[in-house]
Amino acid sequence: MAQERTLSIIKPDAVAKDAIGDIISRFEKGGLSVVAARMMRLTREQAEGFYAEHRERPFFNDLVGFMTSGPVVVQVLEGDNAIAKNRELMGATNPKEAAAGTIRADFASSIDANAVHGSDAPESAEREIHYFFGDAEICARG
């Protein structure tokens, strides 16, 4: 299977719960390696730009408000089939629908405060990785 990279964000609710370590452990145990990482507080402009595809959606303001409500951890994950693997480890957007054992089932409290973000396709992964990281900040393994 192809080696891929994907952009992951540990959202403010999970950071506030001190679940950073547990969540990164899920990725590592699931076969994904961290190749770049930064803790930061998103500005409104950064959050709006990141979620620009959702600009017209009714939940956009709440989403931006939530994503700027506290610090997040942005990271690049690398591994076989990393984009789909990360989404599988995350579980469904709404934690009520997330499969048992997924990150959202275990750490999310609502559809808004849902613990993690993951890129959903190769094109979005490319855009989202470079939204936060320059090539020199991504550390090759091996």
Q: Give the residue numbers annotated as catalytic, written as ranges.
A: 117
Least gap, CB of 74 to Mg ion (angstroms): 14
**Residue 142, number of CB atoms within 10 A of its CB:** 3
- Give the interface segment with Mg ion, choosing from 10-18, 39-47, 73-81, 114-122 (CB under 5 A): 114-122
Interface pick for ligand RTP out of 20, 34, 84, 111 (rule CB under 6 A): 111
Number of continuous H segments (helices) and E segments (strands) in the chain: 7, 4
Least gap, CB of 110 to ligand RTP (angstroms): 8
Cα distance between residue 106 and residue 103, in whole Å: 5
Three-state SS at 125: helix
Three-state SS at 23: helix
| Contacts (Cβ under 8 Å, ≥6 apart) of 50 | 42, 67, 128, 131
By CB under 6 A, is residue 88 in contact with ligand RTP?
A: no
By CB under 6 A, is residue 63 in contact with ligand RTP?
A: yes
Interface pick for ligand RTP out of 43, 55, 59, 65 (rule CB under 6 A): 59
Query: Where is the binding site for ATP, in residues?
Result: 11, 59, 87, 93, 104, 114
Footprint of Mg ion (CB under 5 A): 120
